[in-house]
Structure 1
Amino acid sequence: MDATDKVIVFHSLDDLKEAISVDVKSHDVLAQRYCVRFIILNNFDVFRELTKFLVLELGVEKFDLEKLAFGPDKTIDIDTLSDAVRNLKVSSIVTPFSELARFFKEDEFKGFFNDIILSEDIAHPQKRIYIPIIGLHNRFTDFLKSFGRIEESAPIWQYYTPKDDKVMVYVSKFKNYTIPDKLNICSLPTMRDWLSFWKKQAPKDKILCGASPILNRWPNAKPDSIFTFQSVDNSHKFITDFLEISLPIEYKEYELEYWDAMLQNIGKNTAQLFDFPSYVEDLFNRKTITANDILLLWAKDETLAYERWLLKAYALAYKGDELSGYMRDVLYEIDDFKIANTLFVNLTERIFYMTNAERLQNFDSRKSIMQSQCELFRTLVPEEHQLWVKNHIIEIAQKDDNLSQAKRLCTSVFDFEKILFLGWYVLMAEKDFGLSHLKDFYPDLAGYLTAYESVATKVTASWAADYLERFRRAKIVDNYTEELKEIVEERNASAESFYNWYYSFQNSHDLLNEIQNSQVYPIDKIYWVDGLGAEFIPFIHYLLENSQSNYEAILSQIARTTIPSNTHLNSFDVGNHLIFKLNALDELAHEGHYQKYTTLVAELETVKAVIHKILDENKVGKHTIAIVSDHGLSAMSRKCDSLKFDSNTKHEGRYVPLADDCTINSDIDFVVHENERDHKKYKVALRHQSLGAKPTHEVHGGATPEEVLVPFIVISNDDASKPLKYSVGPIEVKVPISDKKVAFKIIPEPQSAKAIFNGQEIALTRHGMQWEGFFPNATEGKYQITVIPFRGKPTQLEIEFFGMGFGSGLDLDDF
């Protein structure tokens, strides 16, 4: 007998029922000896109807397999199942047996059936154990073919309906999600759900099964007439096909981890209510996310790679109209979300890979993007990438006659760009990169180069302003220019000429004491900026005017240190709780060798940071603050041959301490000076040539104007202390040279007024409704005259002095 002969096939359910009824009463030896009856079916409706018949009409008890599991999502092993079947004491139907057995390995499958097919219960010859086998025809038939005692086993019945049930089972680790009803997919997240389902419901075409035992064992289920199994372990597929959530994100396999994170964050019971833009906005705790927010959120340390991935999709899908084409293109290409700087690097560099035509379309938007978050770009674009950009700009500039492309590739964000701007200004100021370009590209440098007469600064000696102008020009070209050398050789030709100007300026300490004692300005804080020379006075005024801090300079003048111009001899009492010392500028000067262009750029950044620090620390309340210094700095000594007079020099040869009984006298190259504070003698370099070795740093300690002259500035945010507002204008913009008298209208009327012309201070006198000044040194031509009313800001006016026009060779006698 083979398997085909052993299986009794019925063509109706009634016939099967009749056979079962007859078998119960049978006195056949084999029927009474072996109690297990296998019933092969292809339809779950028939299974449920048969179960009903057995229970209600034949009094058979149901044995639910899920009772054997040790938890709702635990499997049932072979031994437990075999023991349970053999230990049944009364007639029972085991349900749903096939929905457990189909996941057995082949050896387990055959072992189980070998174990129970010949189960005996001689004491109960009418006991029957019914085991429905649904959809396992091939596997069960294969078992029967290999079963050696098939002839002596109990009967095996089969009833097939004309149409098999067809069920697609999606096996997925993603479970407990609410699946849209319209998909007609039944979700069975646990093993208990899986086993219970087949007894209670008509099968659905599609089932989503998340039962852990099945996840591990479903590959054991061989193809059969009912079930088709398919694994769904891709979160993107699950989100789109099963939750039917449409997301504006192109699927890329290497981004699967982000889809996994997305699925974890979608509410399991509210997936159908999921709204992508709202989800992203809530994630970043924003009611909405603007185009300007994207870079800020992207750069935050706490922003996860997954969140950047979402931010990209959100920006491209919902903020596309707010984004520039350049931003959209770069964002679209971004595929690295783990490192924040990738986006910033790509925004910086992408334009260099474009054609000239494409660059023209993107210059402005790239610049706008980078300037909107300049600190982020400065921080997040690594130095090696900045160097790459710098080299490409230089390469383009070398082929670009008028710098047209090179200028537009610059954004004024990085320090190296400022170095380029400074170099272009030095080399091309007359043609392609003049002061107007500097104001656009590097306004801080333009602010540094502002004329002294354009700011309300008291300059005791008019030559000093001219000297500092020349010093700044020499500094930007990094050259000891003849025009600078000319003044220093005149003013510091000897000890006598030096002292003539040295004592004409007030000592900064004396000036501070005078102001504090007179209480003209109610100073409540003093900031001592170590190394801040008078060269930076116009720059400080520029920073104040552009700070939007409500602070204004109410007193500004050039003061002096004592010599040697070092910190020790010119320090302020930091033990005083009103005085705060800021060291950054002096530290910059001493920490490395001076570099052409680079060091000046760093100094401007440092002074800017110092002034902003002072303003930021005093935002709250009304304050009047003095900004003082102990000395200035000079980069010119490194450009001069050293005198090599002495090996016992200090501050890179700028001075030499002398013994108290030393009788040396001042010479053409140095002044012997008894310091006003410690009353010790020093030999101090008069000019830029150092007394010892040639310096490589910026230096101080000597007697040059830039080392000795320092700013004394009082600022206030108290309106009662601020400058008064005036309207100032010329009565006539053209004045005859024979008159040399210029009249101005100043409204409202000040207590007094003065003008600055070619560094000379000229008092103005009131005549009726106008103020007049006599300018004895005026010659023909156009001049800038600065008018400063009492407690007012300076106003710069252009006045033209013109002659009588006798240019034909005739003299006055001809008339």
Structure 2
Amino acid sequence: MFDENRFKTIASFEELKALVEEDKNINGLGAATANRYPIRFVLFDNFHDSFEFVMYMLEECGVAVQSVDKWIDHDYPDLMITYQELSDDISGYISSLGGKDSVITPFSELARFYDNQQHHTFDALVKTLKSIEASMEGVENSQRIYIPIIGLEGKMAAFENDTQINVWHLHDEDSIGENYTMILVDDDSCYGVKNIKNKANVVHTVGEWLDIWKKPEVHQKETIVCTSKSIFANAMFAQPDNAFTYVSPQNAYEFLKLGLQLDLGDIPYFEEDEDNWRLLAEQIDLSEDFELCSFVARYFDVSEILSYKSFLKIWFSHSSNFDRWLLCSCYVMLNKGDGFLTACLTKLNSYSNADLFTEVAMYMTSVKTEMDERRYCLNEASLKNVRLSENVEVVIGNRLENIAKQSGYHEAIKYFSGITSKEKELAIAWLGRGLINLNEVKAFFPDLCDYMQAQPLLTPQCPWTSSYIDNYKKAKLGNVYTQEVKEVIATYNADSIAFDTWYQSLKTTATLLSGRKDIDVYYWIDGLGVEWIPYIQAIINQHQQDNIYLNETLIARALLPTTTEVNKKELQRLSEIDIQTMKVGDLDSLAHQSTNRYPDTIISEMRIVKASIEKIMSTYAGKKVAIVSDHGLTYLSQLQAGLNLAGFESDHHGRLAVCKTGKATTDKNYIILNDGKTVCALNHKSLSNKVPRDQGIHGGCTPEEVLVPIFVISNNPSNSHWSVIILTPDVSATDPKVRLKIKGLEVSDIPYIIYRDKSYALNKVGEGEFVSTSLEADEKETEFNVCVGGKKIGNCSVHWQVGATEEDLFDF
């Protein structure tokens, strides 16, 4: 009966135990054959049933268990023994048992990797083993050798009709068995993933592969990572196999996602990113559960990366290719491919600043939120000194000009950022021509906004100079000689007498600072005029957190002619140290360069001034510092024709000249100096040939050439005790003057009012009391600021009385 069906299928483990006992005690017909051939192949669908069977045979039946790994050469643990060597080892082992029973395992874990496609070595091994005959002792003792085979039902099916083999197949549909995922990795380090044994069984050799099946804990993890070269080379022969799911990752990404089943979201794989995936693998530690978003947040030490502002902060803090790849990949994934920045990131060819911000700059969207996001990104890049290529700048500039033509300048300015010089050049030109407003450039060009702030009251002796310098800056920005400038020059520089009237009311830098023992160090910026006061005040005020404070802003006059040679000597009187060693900036040299081109020169000027002030701030050591200048510059002479006066030798492109013979004669175009021969231009027309295009110049008598600033800074916020009280809260619109009481002023402090972005002088009328000049009243504008040297020391409100006021009969 037994011989009639040697390939049996058993439905339960109890049936299997009964079959073992029945087979062991077989009598009668078929017993001789059964005892002659001791091998019993026991086929299982899963490792759980196999392990239970082995333990049953060992513990309840007292059958010895022989591990196949003992036949591996331990000097070469990753050398796979041949099927012939394995069959010989098994045959020899059976002979050595003296007729006793045994279980040989793990057999199938080695045999499954034998070539059964071309050379059919698995079939040959089974055929060889099934033919092994028992010894005389074995026959007498009904010796049985049990060889468990797991998951190779497909291969063993080849022997289903073989009458000379004993195969028992436990196929229990109710069995709760687990099978394994086997990750075949051609990388001994498992791509550097840390603590991988927390998630998977790891084997590196054939010997380790066979050894793990003796350990009960192997069943606690359903994943096996195998780096054995031998197994990797023969893994193709394992199919069909219903005990293992084989995964052969071809790269780090597949190892993490398909092998270890880590959740990597929707991040796509591209071959060019393989190095980054390898670096990511090296950062992963499986001592705790892996969750991509949490991992990325910990890696960058941030709470979130979903917003574009967080993205930029991380981007600029991490410059490596891997870090930026990880950041971009996760940002795109978390935003599900939506958003302005996401669209730019999907187009990147590299993770350089230039590549990213070129994409951002070139993507000109009309969606308001996206426009804001674009500008923010580009402004941040500008603050980090990111620069785009010249070609990209040209393209962006052309696009912006086209938008201006089609939709207007106010629409085009919405696309501006601070990242390209071309945008700054257009902003300067458009603002100078009155095509846009100052507030429209503040977000992307704060330097220009600071530069163009209303001038503080420069000097009470010459209150007109403040509005003049404002108009000069507008003309300079527009590169046009304006009527406002022309009228002031025609009035206050009409001739030498008119000029001398205001010029002599001012003091030189050396005179103003004479006897100042409190100043420790002097710094000199060549060519710095009063037009730069608001800009420099803004820069210095940004350093208050560094305990650097602007204490005073004073106005002085340069000596004539307004050249470095003359005024450098005047500055040298301030210090025993060579003033040349204190020179930190040079606008003068820039102004004379023949390569200057409007409006780029203005941007270069800002760069020089800011770098000079920042240099002073960075080397500041707590001493009181004075920043001085030798003369200012004018960029309006290059817009006027030259007078080509005969008999004069030109100097500084005709801003001054020397009479070749005799003494100079009186002329409204110039002032004659004490030597009687040297003359300085009173207006913007050169005394000789025209000043070259786009060049700044000095030597003459215009306010921008003559007036120079003095900044005094220290680590003490002096005069912080100022207080302002308005004495006339109700002011008549027909006599719009305000009366104030100001406490805490120093002798050198000159207070003034800023109302509706214009400066108004305050005239002292009593101890601590001041009256303003007439304000240009607007009943809707009731607030004004009181300032000293660019600092706001108070804010006041008035009530404008616009009706008729009754005469006060008692006001004598």
Question: Matches of 2:751 and 2:152 in 1, distance apart?
Answer: 109
Contact 1:167 1:206 in 2 (8 A): no
What is aligned with 1:698? 695
Q: CA deviation at 1:195?
A: 1.6
2:297 corresponds, among 281, 285, 290, to 281
The size of the alignment, in residue pairs, is: 744
Q: 2:72 matched to 1:68?
A: yes
> 3-state SS of the aligned residue for 1:475?
helix
Q: What's the CA shift string for 1:336-395, capped at 9, x where partnerless?
A: 773456655555554x344xxxx2455556556666x36457626666555544433322
Contact 1:650 1:656 in 2 (8 A): yes
Distance of aligned partners of 1:167 and 1:592 in 2 relative to their CA distance in 1, 3 Å threshold = farther
1:101 corresponds, among 88, 111, 130, to 111
Q: CA deviation at 1:95?
A: 3.8
Q: 2:568 matched to 1:570?
A: yes
Distance of aligned partners of 1:569 and 1:83 in 2 relative to their CA distance in 1, 3 Å threshold = farther
Q: 2:524 matched to 1:528?
A: yes
Question: Matches of 1:568 and 1:108 in 2, distance apart?
Answer: 102
Superposition pairs for residues 99-498 of structure 1, below 5 Å? 99-106=109-116, 110=121, 113=124, 117=128, 132=147, 134=149, 157-161=166-170, 168-172=179-183, 173=185, 177=196, 191-198=206-213, 207-213=222-228, 214-223=231-240, 229-231=246-248, 249-254=265-270, 257=274, 261-271=279-289, 274-286=290-302, 291=307, 292-306=309-323, 309-310=326-327, 313=330, 338-340=351-353, 344=357, 348=361, 350=363, 352-354=364-366, 359-360=367-368, 362-364=370-372, 367=375, 373=380, 375-376=382-383, 379=386, 384-401=391-408, 403-410=409-416, 415-428=421-434, 433-434=436-437, 444-445=447-448, 447-452=450-455, 454-455=456-457, 457-458=458-459, 461=462, 465=466, 468-481=469-482, 484=485
Q: What's the CA shift string for 1:386-440, capped at 9, x where partnerless?
A: 5544433322222225x453343345665544433333333345xxx34565677
Contact 1:563 1:702 in 2 (8 A): yes
Distance of aligned partners of 1:608 and 1:595 in 2 relative to their CA distance in 1, 3 Å threshold = same
What is aligned with 2:16? none
1:537 corresponds, among 533, 538, 557, to 533
Q: CA deviation at 1:283?
A: 1.5
> 3-state SS of the aligned residue for 1:42?
strand
Question: Matches of 1:162 and 1:794 in 2, distance apart?
Answer: 94
Question: Matches of 2:156 and 2:297 in 1, distance apart?
Answer: 57
Q: CA deviation at 1:560?
A: 0.6
Which structure 1 residue ranges, 5 or more long, are not aligned?
A: 806-815
Q: CA deviation at 1:565?
A: 0.7
Question: Matches of 2:657 and 2:672 in 1, distance apart?
Answer: 9
What is aligned with 1:596? 598
Contact 2:7 2:160 in 1 (8 A): no
Contact 1:565 1:631 in 2 (8 A): yes
What is aligned with 1:582? 584
Q: What's the CA shift string for 1:255-285, capped at 9, x where partnerless?
A: 97566655543323323xx455543333123
Q: TM-score, normalised by structure 2?
A: 0.70
Question: Matches of 1:58 and 1:545 in 2, distance apart?
Answer: 91
Distance of aligned partners of 1:786 and 1:19 in 2 relative to their CA distance in 1, 3 Å threshold = closer
Distance of aligned partners of 1:545 and 1:791 in 2 relative to their CA distance in 1, 3 Å threshold = closer
Question: Matches of 1:66 and 1:190 in 2, distance apart?
Answer: 14
Higher mean alpha-carbon deviation, 780-789 vs 491-500, is at 780-789
Q: 2:708 matched to 1:710?
A: yes
Q: What's the CA shift string for 1:493-521, capped at 9, x where partnerless?
A: 77787777666543334444x1xx243xx
Q: What's the CA shift string for 1:107-163, capped at 9, x where partnerless?
A: 6654995899599999x9879996948366776897999xxxx99xxx754444466
Distance of aligned partners of 1:543 and 1:692 in 2 relative to their CA distance in 1, 3 Å threshold = same
Question: Matches of 1:140 and 1:244 in 2, distance apart?
Answer: 31
Question: Matches of 2:182 and 2:38 in 1, distance apart?
Answer: 31
Distance of aligned partners of 1:197 and 1:259 in 2 relative to their CA distance in 1, 3 Å threshold = same
Distance of aligned partners of 1:66 and 1:234 in 2 relative to their CA distance in 1, 3 Å threshold = farther
Q: CA deviation at 1:221?
A: 2.0
Question: Matches of 1:638 and 1:656 in 2, distance apart?
Answer: 17
Distance of aligned partners of 1:349 and 1:389 in 2 relative to their CA distance in 1, 3 Å threshold = same
How many percent of aligned residue pairs carry the same amino acid? 21
Contact 2:527 2:587 in 1 (8 A): yes
Q: Which amino acid aligns with 1:524?
A: D
Q: CA deviation at 1:551?
A: 2.1
Distance of aligned partners of 1:566 and 1:368 in 2 relative to their CA distance in 1, 3 Å threshold = same
Q: CA deviation at 1:689?
A: 1.8
Contact 2:534 2:790 in 1 (8 A): no
Question: Matches of 1:411 and 1:84 in 2, distance apart?
Answer: 79
> 3-state SS of the aligned residue for 2:181?
strand
Question: Matches of 1:472 and 1:695 in 2, distance apart?
Answer: 19
> 3-state SS of the aligned residue for 2:723?
coil
Question: Matches of 2:494 and 2:740 in 1, distance apart?
Answer: 43
Aligned alpha-carbon RMSD (Å): 6.1
Contact 1:556 1:713 in 2 (8 A): yes
What is aligned with 2:627? 627
Question: Matches of 1:526 and 1:627 in 2, distance apart?
Answer: 6
Q: Which amino acid aligns with 2:451?
A: Y
What is aligned with 2:549? 551
Q: Which amino acid aligns with 2:407?
A: D
Question: Matches of 1:15 and 1:84 in 2, distance apart?
Answer: 28
Contact 2:41 2:148 in 1 (8 A): yes
What is aligned with 2:15? none
Q: CA deviation at 1:170?
A: 2.4
Question: Matches of 1:210 and 1:629 in 2, distance apart?
Answer: 74
Contact 2:730 2:801 in 1 (8 A): no
Q: Which amino acid aligns with 2:525?
A: V
Contact 2:492 2:498 in 1 (8 A): yes
Which structure 2 residue ranges, 5 or more long, are not aligned?
A: 10-18, 806-812
Q: Which amino acid aligns with 1:284?
A: F
Distance of aligned partners of 1:269 and 1:770 in 2 relative to their CA distance in 1, 3 Å threshold = closer
Question: Matches of 2:62 and 2:168 in 1, distance apart?
Answer: 19
Q: CA deviation at 1:628?
A: 0.5
Q: CA deviation at 1:583?
A: 2.0
Q: TM-score, normalised by structure 1?
A: 0.70
Question: Matches of 2:41 and 2:465 in 1, distance apart?
Answer: 112
